[in-house]
């Protein structure tokens, strides 16, 4: 992976996930792990998007729902549901629930369209750009604003 | 030479030596004639000097060198210990501490030469010598011919003749002779080919001790243990047996070349040999004169002889057995890793228990093995916890010094009594508890104790007492700071709180004594009329409280006006693994720490009463409020409202509450894991734990529920 990055230069790898009908991309460098859906222990008295905590090899890790955070329909657990464990500098390890994990894509910098920040749409504020790949569009998630606590 | 890799060890050992010096100098102040203390101080100062020199810290080396000089003179009896000198020595220690701090922070000792201190030390040296010149000189003179006589007299192999007898030793020898025992001098020669000289010496010591008591040795027992001798060492022993027997016993040890012995006359020199005759007469005046300057202050005289007597008692075990602790320094992080692994093991063990129960096919053989595994993991956990445990001594041993300083600063007379320094606590707790304790002690010294005049008026002893007691109580460690001062004036506290706007006058009217005392822990509260250097910045007590609570402990105050107050700190023995009661609430599992649980009750719905529209139950004449956990945790209770309630009665201090749960699951050892920063909003959950089946259960913090 490293050598590939070096030779191609300005490229980024994203994991493509699905939430509803839309495709989203998560920068691979933040991803620690992808695990199957498992029992989530509810934590009382916290924001609704925080689904609870799971046990990942002895570590207790909080899990959040991107769907609720973005104001979409609540998650429906299916066979393809996954929890993506993110490792962020500030918050440490956090799991996010996604409907499906599709593939890994490599995007060159000219395939990424930066988002304009003037958009008032709530959903868009969680995005940092749009990737164009094989004719399809991938909304690239801005993880920091996704996991940021609601004030 | 690159010494940076030793820096860590250097810092650790320096702090140890400084702490040791602090303690020893304090005890020297109490008992100026104690040679053991003086020797100990000298050794510590000497090691410090050596270490600082090796690491290239010249200023530190200079200062310790001059300190060592002073101690050396004290040891030789040329200077007597005076109060002024103790003060200077403490200042030196502070300066050394400063060097150490500098080194710790930027690997450099700083540029402070501490010249005034060095000058003071030199003044002590010169003053001491000047004052006792007259006495010291003739002693030296007398010693010189004695030494000459010794060398010309050629003691040859009889090196025990070189052993100098002190005042106390001589009196012990005389006493022994009066009892009909004999005193021998022995010189033991070890074969040149011998590799483990110290071990051989140890065996010789042991052999001799079967029949006799070893009074003195040259070199010292410690040096012999450390193999700091050439091929021979000499002993003075008190024995009921014949000389030949003693020699034979020593010779029995293998690799011992020869043992030479003779009878010793306690009056200074051995009487057995003719060559020693001139030496005897010469050394006599020398020995007699020498102790004089040392014993000059009348007060120290009994102390000196008392300590001399004690020394003999102590010498016996120390001469025979090696007293050095065999220890390894381990990085605390490595211990944490070990601890985590043990936690994992306990979780795995629990999974195994759960799996075997679930499979339903549990055979006795499997059960036996599981039980065995359980006992092994439990003792493994205990041992790892023990490794992390350190006596609180390391933290509290600096307090006597602090109280001594406070005494001077505040102009009050006080004495600190400590007990239970050996009580052990988790390393992290011990490190953190120092500051809160210091605050409490300062508080007692400043606010608690009255001035000497007031104490006299009230018929109390002029010297105020502060007690610091530590002891274990079940799964907790209690540290109590007590004083016999004025106690807490709750009236004054309330008035002050009103003045500060913390409470309204109406609230104050209805406040109980206890609530008033609790006001002291309110941030920004200080009753001292004058903000002093010592305490009274109003940050003290609330910091104390929050710090202790951060360590999962609690603090309680008991006070009686005019008689004193006591601050009781209760800390959990361990932080990572606890015994907990697992409960079921609406199909969710929660853990409640067993430590906070008082009783478990089965209550009929009809026994639930209402007070101020709140549910309460009456239990053994106590009215206890009920807390419906399912309401607090936002879950549906799956129980029929007509069924009896399962109530877990928890306590916090002397307050109680009944937690209503659906079902009890059982007692279990759980490993506490943090929920992380991300979910920190929920106050009633203090953490989480991983259960045997891999599921996460939350730990309820009973303290926040009450």
Inter-chain CB proximity B634 and A54 less than 8 Å: no
B276 Cβ partners below 8 Å, 6+ apart?
B153, B155, B161, B269, B270
Task: Annotate B127-165 with b (16+ C-beta within 10 A) or e (fewer).
Answer: ebeeebeebbeebeebbebbeebbeebebeebbbbebeb
Cβ distance A45 to B675 less than 8 Å, yes or no, reads no
Residue B139: C-alpha distances to residues B130, B290, B620 (Å): 15, 6, 81
Residue A79 confidence (pLDDT) above 80? yes
The helix (run of H) or strand (run of E) holding residue B67 is helix B58-75
Set of chain B residues whose Cβ sits within 8 Å of the Cβ of A59: 673
Which parts of chain B register pLDDT below 50?
A: 1, 128-154, 269-323, 529-538
- Chain A residues at the B interface, defined by Cβ less than 8 Å, are 39, 41-47, 50, 52-55, 58-62, 91-94, 147
Which residues, 6 or more positions from B174, have their beta carbon under 8 angstroms from its beta carbon? B266
CB distance B293 to B196 below 8 Å: no
- Least CB–CB distance from B681: residue in A39, A46, A53: A46
Rounded average pLDDT over A138-147: 84
Contact call for A53 and B675, based on CB within 8 A: yes
Cα→Cα distances B204→B185, B211, B218, B223, B237, Å: 14, 12, 14, 15, 12
Annotation says B155 is catalytic: no
Q: B635 in contact with A at a CB cutoff of 8 Å?
A: yes
Count of beta carbons in the 10 Å neighbourhood of residue B43:
16
Does position A15 have pLDDT exceeding 90, yes or no?
yes
At B671, list the tokens: 């490993």
3-state secondary structure of B650: strand
CA distances from B693 to A106, B355, B662, B665 (A): 39, 8, 21, 14
How far, CA to CA in Å, does B145 sit from each of A7, B141, B149, B282, B284? 90, 7, 6, 7, 11
pLDDT band at A53 (very low <50, low <70, confident <90, very high): very high
Cα dist. B250→A87, B181, B241, B258, B288 in Å? Answer: 70, 19, 13, 9, 32
B108-117 burial: b if 16+ Cβ within 10 Å, else e: ebbeeebeeb
> Does the active-site annotation cover B39?
no
- Please report, for residues B651, B656, B703, the alpha-carbon distance to residue B597 in angstroms, rounded to integers and kept in the order given: 6, 9, 11
**pLDDT tens per residue across span B20-65:** 888 888 888 887 777 788 878 877 887 788 778 777 788 888 888 8
Residues 6+ positions from B599 with CB-CB distance below 8 Å? B619, B649
C-alpha span between B269 and B284 (Å, rounded): 8
B343 touches chain A (CB under 8 A): yes
Chain A residues near residue B587 by CB distance under 8 angstroms:
none
- Contact status, residue B187 vs residue B217, Cβ threshold 8 Å: no
- Does A74 score more than 80 pLDDT? yes
Q: Are B696 and A60 in contact (CB under 8 A)?
A: yes
For residues B169 and B217, what is the distance between their CA atoms, to the nearest angstrom? 12
- B65 assigned to active site: no
State whether residue B694 sits within 8 Å of chain A by CB.
Answer: yes
pLDDT at B591: 93
Instruction: Compare CB distances from A41 to B343, B347, B697 and report the shortest one's residue.
Output: B697
Q: B677-689 in b/e burial notation, b at 16+ Cβ within 10 A? A: ebbeebebbbbbb
Q: Which residues, 6 or more positions from B398, have their beta carbon under 8 angstroms from its beta carbon?
A: B19, B22, B434
Residue A87 has pLDDT above 60, yes or no: yes
Q: Do B688 and A39 touch (CB under 8 A)?
A: no
Nearest by CB to residue B681, choosing from A45, A54, A58, is A45
**Cα–Cα distance measured from residue B597 to residue B649, given in angstroms and rounded to the nearest whole number:** 6
Angle at B396 between CA B428 and CA B409, to 5 degrees: 130
Query: Domains of chain A by range and CATH?
Result: 2-147 (2.40.50.180)
Count CB atoms within 10 A of the CB of residue B266.
Answer: 20
| Set of chain A residues whose Cβ sits within 8 Å of the Cβ of B679 | 43, 46, 50, 53, 62
Block residue for tokens 């279990």: B668
Contact yes or no for B659/B647 (Cβ under 8 A): yes
Tokens of A33: 């792990």
Sign of the torsion formed by the C-alpha atoms of B22, B26, B27 and B31? positive
Closest residue in B to A51 (Cα) is B679
- d(Cα B148, Cα B142) in Å, to the nearest integer? 10
3-state secondary structure of B544: helix
Give the chain A residue whose CA is nearest to the CA of B586: A42
DSSP letters for B362-384? --HHHHHHHHHHHHHHHHHHHHH
Contact check, Cβ <8 Å, B690/A62: no
Residue A95 pLDDT exceeds 90: yes
CB contact under 8 Å between B678 and A42, yes or no, is no
Nearest CA in chain A to B673: A60
Question: Residue B463, SS3?
Answer: coil
């Amino acid at each position: 992976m490293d050598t590939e990055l070096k030779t191609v230069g300005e490229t980024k790898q994203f994991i493509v996930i699905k939430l509803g009908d839309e495709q989203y991309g998560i920068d691979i460098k933040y991803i620690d792990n992808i695990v199957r859906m498992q029992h989530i222990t509810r934590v009382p008295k916290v924001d609704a998007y925080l689904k609870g905590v799971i046990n990942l090899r002895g570590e207790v890790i909080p899990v959040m729902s991107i769907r609720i955070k973005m104001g979409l329909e609540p998650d429906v657990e299916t066979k393809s549901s996954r929890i993506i464990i993110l490792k962020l500098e500030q918050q440490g390890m956090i799991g996010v629930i996604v409907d499906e994990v599709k593939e890994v894509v490599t995007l060159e910098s000219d395939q990424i369209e930066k988002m304009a920040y003037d958009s008032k749409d709530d959903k868009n504020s969680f995005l940092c750009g749009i990737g164009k790949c094989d004719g399809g569009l991938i909304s690239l998630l801005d993880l920091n604003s996704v996991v940021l606590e609601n004030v | 030479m690159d010494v940076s890799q030793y820096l860590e060890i250097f810092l650790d050992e320096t702090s140890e030596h400084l702490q040791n010096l602090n303690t020893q100098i304090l005890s020297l102040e109490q008992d100026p004639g104690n040679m053991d203390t003086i020797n100990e101080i000298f050794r510590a100062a000497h090691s410090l000097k050596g270490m600082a020199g090796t690491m290239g810290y010249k200023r530190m080396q200079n200062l310790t060198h001059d300190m060592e000089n002073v101690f050396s003179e004290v040891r030789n009896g040329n200077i007597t210990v005076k109060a002024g000198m103790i003060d200077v020595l403490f200042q030196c220690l502070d300066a050394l501490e400063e060097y150490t701090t500098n080194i710790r922070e930027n690997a450099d000792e700083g540029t402070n030469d501490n010249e005034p201190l060095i000058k003071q030390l030199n003044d002590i040296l010169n003053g001491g010598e000047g004052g006792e010149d007259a006495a010291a000189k003739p002693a030296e003179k007398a010693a010189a011919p004695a030494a000459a006589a010794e060398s010309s007299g050629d003691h040859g192999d009889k090196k025990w003749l070189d052993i100098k007898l002190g005042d106390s030793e001589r009196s012990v020898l005389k006493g022994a002779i009066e009892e009909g025992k004999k005193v021998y001098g022995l010189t033991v020669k070890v074969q040149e080919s011998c590799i483990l000289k110290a071990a051989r010496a140890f065996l010789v010591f042991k052999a001799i001790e079967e029949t006799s008591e070893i009074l003195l040795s040259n070199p010292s027992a410690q040096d012999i243990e450390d193999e700091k001798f050439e091929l021979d060492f000499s002993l003075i022993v008190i024995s009921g047996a014949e000389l030949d027997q003693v020699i034979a016993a020593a010779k029995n040890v293998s690799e011992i070349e020869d043992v030479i012995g003779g009878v010793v006359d306690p009056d200074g020199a051995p009487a057995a040999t003719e060559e020693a005759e001139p030496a005897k007469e010469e050394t006599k005046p020398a020995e007699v004169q020498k102790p004089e300057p040392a014993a000059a202050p009348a007060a120290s005289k009994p102390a000196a002889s008392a300590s001399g007597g004690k020394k003999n008692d102590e010498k016996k075990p120390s001469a025979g057995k090696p007293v050095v602790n065999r220890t390894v320094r381990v990085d605390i992080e490595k211990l944490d890793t070990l601890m985590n692994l043990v936690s994992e093991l306990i979780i795995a063990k629990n999974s195994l228990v759960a799996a075997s129960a679930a499979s339903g096919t549990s055979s006795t053989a499997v059960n036996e093995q599981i039980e065995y595994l359980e006992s092994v993991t439990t003792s493994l956990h205990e041992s790892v916890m023990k490794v992390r445990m350190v006596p609180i001594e390391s933290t509290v041993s600096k307090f006597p010094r602090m109280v001594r300083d406070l005494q001077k600063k505040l102009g009050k007379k006080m004495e600190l009594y400590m007990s239970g320094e050996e009580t052990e606590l988790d390393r992290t707790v011990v490190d953190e508890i120092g500051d809160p304790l210091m605050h409490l002690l300062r508080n007692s010294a400043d606010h608690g104790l009255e001035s000497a005049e007031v104490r006299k008026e009230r018929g109390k002893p002029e010297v105020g007492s502060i007690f610091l007691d530590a002891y274990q109580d079940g799964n907790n460690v209690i540290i109590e700071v007590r004083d016999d001062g004025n106690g807490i004036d709750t009236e004054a506290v309330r008035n002050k709180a009103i003045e500060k706007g913390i409470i309204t006058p109406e609230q104050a009217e209805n406040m109980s004594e206890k609530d008033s005392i609790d006001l002291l822990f309110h941030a920004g509260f200080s009753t001292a009329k004058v903000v002093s250097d010592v305490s009274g910045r109003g940050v003290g007590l609330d910091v104390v409280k929050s710090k202790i609570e951060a360590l999962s402990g609690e603090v309680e105050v008991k006070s009686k006006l005019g008689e004193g107050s006591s601050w009781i700190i209760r800390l959990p023995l361990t932080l990572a693994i606890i015994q907990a009661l697992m409960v079921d609430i609406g199909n969710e599992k929660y853990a409640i720490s067993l430590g906070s649980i008082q009783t478990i009750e089965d209550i009929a719905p009809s026994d639930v009463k209402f007070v101020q529209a709140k549910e309460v139950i009456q239990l053994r004449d106590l009215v206890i409020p009920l807390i419906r956990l399912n309401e607090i945790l936002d879950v549906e209770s799956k129980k029929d409202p007509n069924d009896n309630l399962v109530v877990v009665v928890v306590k916090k201090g002397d307050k109680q509450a009944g937690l209503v749960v659906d079902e009890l699951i059982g007692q279990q050892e759980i490993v506490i894991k943090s929920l992380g920063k991300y979910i920190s909003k929920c106050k009633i959950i203090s953490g989480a734990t991983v259960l045997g089946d891999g599921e996460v259960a939350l730990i309820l913090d009973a303290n926040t529920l009450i």
